[in-house]
Chains A and B, each alone.
Chain A
């Protein structure tokens, strides 16, 4: 180090930079949004272009209950972060459990919808353009919900084991930002698939 040019080390006014966890998650969300935009554009472009049935109007039911569950899980995860910030670990675990439950209901509803579509209406990825675009867009979103559920579920397990404390609030916040993103994407997917496309 003796060969290095020294830089003067002077005290400087308060130096505060953003949290890298939150910046990193924001970047991931931008990248993921771009992926979803392409799938949404493909869905919109192919509405009504299928050469054969079934059509969305014939087979799709609007999933009101699942949607309400998923959107309210955004509120519960927010309260989970709030309670961890004020060091109420048990309360946080309760809110996390509620979030995982609501997200689980959403995934179960999607699974039941797909079962119905495949076995009763014979709609698969191969059937027509609607099948191809529907399963890929809704499936892409559902896979993001599953990833979120895994992260929240792990946090819940850690919380129940007593390994989570107030210092982890920022990390939980990063997960919660992801979860809010997944919910926001659902608003777009819901509008495109079940309102515009039907």
Chain B
């Protein structure tokens, strides 16, 4: 050992920045790829956030003309597409890439080169989408960025209604990033099943890894239909096919089915990683093992399966008839059962625990309450007669943003505060974190609580302005002002990320006194993760290590 600990000059330090660029571009290390996913998602988060702010400025007062209707159409299309495909997916895959091998005691993913390929192909998809701003008008001079909405209903995407190339950029960028997503999902499944360290049985895996396994399984059966639908759209647009061409007997409703067969499970692909973070963070800051591990695993798998049978609740207003309406109302209500099991298990984990209100835990508690409210408005919308009144209104927009922001984004912030010390070796500032949390919480509730009301009053989504006499003005003012609170809070968060990297308190390997394997190695982990491959005997290997007199293995 003595010879190994002698000071050796890191060769990376002696070379220039070009060396580092080459190092990151050619890396196959799962941690670096994970960080690139996260960085790329954060950049797009800021871009799509700016788009949201521009839209909220436009809707701040009635009869506003801050942006033109055409620009507004592009803004909501790009905001939705970016947030789902180039923020949500990459940030969740980024954390998965970083954490899954560490948590199961592996040195890398099962297919490191496929992993790098998947990242770069997804990243290229995002660049392609935004390149449309420069090149979308092509030879036709017909608009720049895509403006067909994030679900791009037919026949709006037909050549006649979308001349130029803006829609092609939309289709191709999603098709390409989908290939990357399937590659990463394949990698996560193969890593989880084939790379676990000795003793890490499936019944001992951290719940985060279980949830990523379910998410990856969902990616295969949901991203693929989207890929198929995009291929069909390309055949229609480039080869003159008739899949969604109503003039030649094609069906516009078929596109809706194909899109939402992807679109609804996609919501669960995004929210299950948020559950995964909660499963790791809530027990650690309650100082208790998670309540009901087997029930949590069963509920996750249950959600995975049921989520495949709810898609047409997005289509109640299409006129599917009483049979399908009743079925999809029922299946949508059924999915709240496993979700409810999860909420009760988290509450039971908190119950009687020694709760530490760190910033990560504050965000996790916020997630619990907000996810519950989002679920309740979800149950309201699952009732098809209720949905007929409010589908396509701001009530719906408020509902799904409550899930995406109130649940998913809150848990992503929580995950940053929890794992940042592991990733960088430095703690994030708790003081700035507190400001971030409270400002974001206030902004979130100002925006998305009050957004339900103009929806009930009849304000449709995607309108670029409204008349003053509708009674929507005050509500839109409140909603828009909340958006600024969120923007300021996000800036504080970004500042915290940057400043703590240089000045943050040193974290050490295990700052939270946690129990999963990633905390057993140094912070940041070496490129090989573990000097010797660990062996585990229970669900909390570090608990066993720290409490040899009372190991978990005796109770499982």
Query: Do A and B assemble together?
Result: yes
| Interface, chain A (partner B; CB < 8 A) | 1-10, 12, 15, 17-20, 23-24, 27-28, 30-35, 37-39, 42, 45-46, 49-51, 125-126, 128-129, 132-133, 136, 140
Instruction: Determine if B186 is an interface residue (Cβ-Cβ < 8 Å).
Output: yes
Chain A residues, Cβ within 8 Å of B520: 4-7
B22 → chain A closest CB, angstroms: 26
Chain A residues, Cβ within 8 Å of B542: 5, 7
Instruction: Determine if B228 is an interface residue (Cβ-Cβ < 8 Å).
Output: yes
Instruction: Determine if B64 is an interface residue (Cβ-Cβ < 8 Å).
Output: no
Docked CA distance A28–B189 (Å): 11
From residue 333 to 363 of chain B, which have CB atoms closer than 8 A to chain A?
A: none
From residue 176 to 228 of chain B, which have CB atoms closer than 8 A to chain A?
A: 182, 185-187, 189-191, 193-196, 198-199, 216-217, 219-225, 227-228
Q: By the criterion CB–CB under 8 Å, are A23 and B509 in contact? A: no
Most buried by B among A34, A51, A126, A128: A34
Q: By the criterion CB–CB under 8 Å, are B225 and A34 in contact? A: yes
Instruction: Determine if B111 is an interface residue (Cβ-Cβ < 8 Å).
Output: yes
Q: By the criterion CB–CB under 8 Å, are B249 and A51 in contact? A: yes
Most buried by B among A1, A2, A45, A126: A1
Could you write out 17 A-B pairs with CB less than 8 Å apart? A4-B521, A4-B522, A5-B509, A5-B519, A5-B520, A19-B194, A20-B194, A27-B189, A31-B224, A38-B258, A46-B249, A46-B250, A126-B240, A129-B242, A132-B242, A136-B241, A140-B231
Instruction: Determine if B92 is an interface residue (Cβ-Cβ < 8 Å).
Output: no
Docked CA distance A95–B282 (Å): 57
Q: By the criterion CB–CB under 8 Å, are A38 and B229 in contact? A: yes
Chain B residues, Cβ within 8 Å of A46: 249-250
Given A34-B221, A34-B224, A129-B242, verify A20-B190 contact (CB < 8 Å).
yes
Q: By the criterion CB–CB under 8 Å, are B224 and A35 in contact? A: yes
Q: By the criterion CB–CB under 8 Å, are A31 and B220 in contact? A: yes
Q: By the criterion CB–CB under 8 Å, are A3 and B111 in contact? A: no
Chain B residues, Cβ within 8 Å of A49: 249
Contact partner, B248, options A3, A20, A39, A129, Cβ 8 Å: A129
Q: By the criterion CB–CB under 8 Å, are A24 and B190 in contact? A: yes
Q: By the criterion CB–CB under 8 Å, are A128 and B248 in contact? A: yes
Q: By the criterion CB–CB under 8 Å, are B254 and A45 in contact? A: yes
A38 → chain B closest CB, angstroms: 4
Q: By the criterion CB–CB under 8 Å, are B194 and A17 in contact? A: yes
Chain B residues, Cβ within 8 Å of A132: 235-236, 241-243, 250
Chain A residues, Cβ within 8 Å of B189: 23-24, 27
A87 → chain B closest CB, angstroms: 26
B224 → chain A closest CB, angstroms: 4
A8 → chain B closest CB, angstroms: 7
Q: By the criterion CB–CB under 8 Å, are B231 and A30 in contact? A: no
Q: A8-B535, A132-B250 are in contact. List 11 more A-B contacts (CB 8 A).
A: A12-B199, A15-B199, A17-B196, A23-B110, A24-B187, A31-B186, A35-B231, A50-B249, A51-B248, A126-B242, A129-B250
Most buried by A among B232, B248, B531: B248
Q: By the criterion CB–CB under 8 Å, are B541 and A125 in contact? A: no
Chain A residues, Cβ within 8 Å of B251: 45
Docked CA distance A15–B231 (Å): 43
Docked CA distance A20–B248 (Å): 46
Q: By the criterion CB–CB under 8 Å, are B221 and A129 in contact? A: no
Q: By the criterion CB–CB under 8 Å, are B195 and A20 in contact? A: yes
* 9 nearest A-B pairs in the assembled complex, by CB-CB distance: A34-B224, A38-B228, A7-B534, A132-B241, A126-B240, A20-B194, A31-B220, A27-B186, A20-B110
Contact partner, B522, options A1, A17, A125, A126, Cβ 8 Å: A1
Q: By the criterion CB–CB under 8 Å, are A12 and B198 in contact? A: yes
Which residue of the partner chain A has the closest CB to B257?
A41
B4 → chain A closest CB, angstroms: 9
Q: By the criterion CB–CB under 8 Å, are A30 and B221 in contact? A: yes
A2 → chain B closest CB, angstroms: 7
Chain A residues, Cβ within 8 Å of B198: 12, 15
Q: By the criterion CB–CB under 8 Å, are A4 and B111 in contact? A: no
Docked CA distance A5–B541 (Å): 11
Which residue of the partner chain B has the closest CB to A5?
B520
Q: By the criterion CB–CB under 8 Å, are B535 and A12 in contact? A: yes
Given A20-B190, A136-B241, verify A5-B545 contact (CB < 8 Å).
yes
Chain A residues, Cβ within 8 Å of B522: 1, 3-4
Chain A residues, Cβ within 8 Å of B196: 17
Instruction: Determine if B163 is an interface residue (Cβ-Cβ < 8 Å).
Output: no
Docked CA distance A175–B207 (Å): 33
Q: By the criterion CB–CB under 8 Å, are A28 and B186 in contact? A: yes
Chain A residues, Cβ within 8 Å of B541: 7
Chain A residues, Cβ within 8 Å of B6: none
Q: By the criterion CB–CB under 8 Å, are A9 and B194 in contact? A: no
Instruction: Determine if B532 is an interface residue (Cβ-Cβ < 8 Å).
Output: yes
Docked CA distance A28–B190 (Å): 11
Given A4-B509, A7-B534, verify A31-B193 contact (CB < 8 Å).
no
Chain B residues, Cβ within 8 Å of A42: 232, 243, 254, 258
Docked CA distance A129–B282 (Å): 54
Which residue of the partner chain B has the closest CB to A49?
B249
From residue 512 to 537 of chain B, which have CB atoms closer than 8 A to chain A?
A: 517, 519-522, 526, 530-532, 534-536
Instruction: Determine if B3 is an interface residue (Cβ-Cβ < 8 Å).
Output: no
Instruction: Determine if B10 is an interface residue (Cβ-Cβ < 8 Å).
Output: no
Which residue of the partner chain A has the closest CB to B523?
A3
Docked CA distance A39–B241 (Å): 14
Chain A residues, Cβ within 8 Å of B221: 30-31, 34
Most buried by B among A5, A10, A50: A5
Chain A residues, Cβ within 8 Å of B249: 46, 49-51, 128-129
Contact partner, B193, options A4, A10, A12, A18, Cβ 8 Å: A18
Which residue of the partner chain A has the closest CB to B227?
A35
From residue 159 to 174 of chain B, which have CB atoms closer than 8 A to chain A?
A: none
Docked CA distance A136–B520 (Å): 52
Docked CA distance A30–B510 (Å): 39
From residue 235 to 278 of chain B, which have CB atoms closer than 8 A to chain A?
A: 235-236, 239-243, 248-251, 254, 258, 261
Docked CA distance A31–B184 (Å): 12
Instruction: Determine if B5 is an interface residue (Cβ-Cβ < 8 Å).
Output: yes
What 0/1 pattern do residues 1 to 29 of B give for CB contact below 8 A with A?
00001000000000000000000000000
Docked CA distance A46–B190 (Å): 37
